[in-house]
């Protein structure tokens, strides 16, 4: 795939889900497509932590399962950190990274099976900070639903802020690909995409055309705002 670069323009309209840090979230039902969580897998998106978040508790951004998750991307409880990994075991998570509240920040997380399939290698970024880890234990498969903005509808561990442009891929990505994914939509092996375009109701369309819609729970809020478009925006050439 060839990538071109567009010049700078002014602003773009970003649509998002806003969660209150108490109970609001989006749920997506389990699908056979999520088998990728135990193999090569990538998740990307944008987060905005509410300035009123006291940072005294965690906040799940994306998660499927509970103990021995397929994967989890979580803001840590001792400060503004992002913890990325494939289970509830700290050793299986990437290095935590400081997050600034009240600022849109991109994230990316990718897992690749090692030769022989007995362990995984992880790459991930938050903002401009990249991390990697090798030899991570494989997650345990499950048929649980997955959630954006909470661990699940019972345990919650809710996120306080905004989530936008969530994409999931059934493939791994290199660090270079992850960097470009901040502003670029890869089409190969895209299994889910949530853009919150509807701005009304409770159903969020899966714009990957794989028909895995999300459901906004507990009166999660729709929102939209103009944000500055990046100076360099990647697209297919």
Per-residue pLDDT of the chain (237 residues; tens, 9 = 90+): 333 334 445 788 999 999 999 999 999 998 877 655 667 889 999 999 999 987 677 788 988 876 556 677 888 765 667 777 666 677 777 877 777 889 999 999 898 999 888 888 999 888 888 889 998 887 777 788 889 998 888 878 899 999 999 999 999 999 889 988 988 899 999 999 999 999 999 999 999 989 999 999 999 999 999 998 765 544 443
> What CATH number did the domain enclosing 10 receive?
2.60.120.200
Range of the domain at 116: 3-236
What is the rounded CA–CA span in Å between residue 237 and residue 231? Answer: 18
User: Could you identify the residue written with the tokens 């998660």?
Assistant: 63
Please state the domain count of the chain.
1
Contact call for residues 138 and 122 (beta carbons, < 8 A):
no
Contact call for residues 147 and 153 (beta carbons, < 8 A):
yes
Torsion sign, CA atoms 38, 41, 46, 49: positive
pLDDT in tens, 86-115: 666 777 778 777 778 899 999 998 989 998
Nearest 5°: CA angle at 61, between 117 and 193?
Answer: 75
Residue 151, burial from CB neighbour count under 10 angstroms (0-12, 13-18, 19+): buried
> Which pLDDT does position 214 carry in this prediction?
97
Nearest 5°: CA angle at 87, between 145 and 152?
Answer: 30
């Amino acid at each position: 795939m060839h990538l071109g670069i567009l010049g700078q323009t002014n602003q773009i309209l970003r649509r998002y889900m806003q969660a209150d840090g108490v109970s609001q979230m989006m749920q997506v039902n389990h699908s056979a497509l999520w088998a990728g969580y135990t193999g090569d897998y990538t998740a990307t998106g944008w987060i905005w932590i509410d300035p009123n978040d006291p940072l005294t508790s965690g906040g799940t951004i994306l998660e499927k399962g509970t103990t021995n998750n397929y994967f989890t991307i979580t803001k840590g409880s001792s400060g503004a950190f992002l913890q990325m990994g494939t289970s509830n075991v700290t050793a299986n998570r990437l290095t935590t990274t400081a997050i600034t509240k009240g600022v849109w920040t991109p994230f990316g997380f990718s897992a690749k099976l090692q030769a022989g399939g007995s362990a995984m290698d992880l790459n991930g970024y938050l903002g401009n900070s990249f991390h990697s880890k090798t030899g991570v234990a494989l997650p345990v498969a499950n048929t649980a639903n997955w959630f954006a903005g909470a661990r699940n509808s019972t345990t919650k561990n809710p996120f306080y802020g905004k989530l936008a442009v969530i994409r999931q891929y059934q493939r791994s990505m290199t660090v270079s690909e992850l960097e470009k994914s901040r502003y670029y939509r890869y089409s190969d092996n895209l299994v889910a995409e949530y853009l919150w375009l509807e701005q009304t109701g409770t159903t969020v369309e899966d714009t990957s055309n794989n028909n895995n819609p999300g459901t906004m729970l507990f009166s999660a809020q729709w929102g939209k705002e103009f944000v500055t478009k990046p100076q360099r925006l990647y697209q297919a050439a």
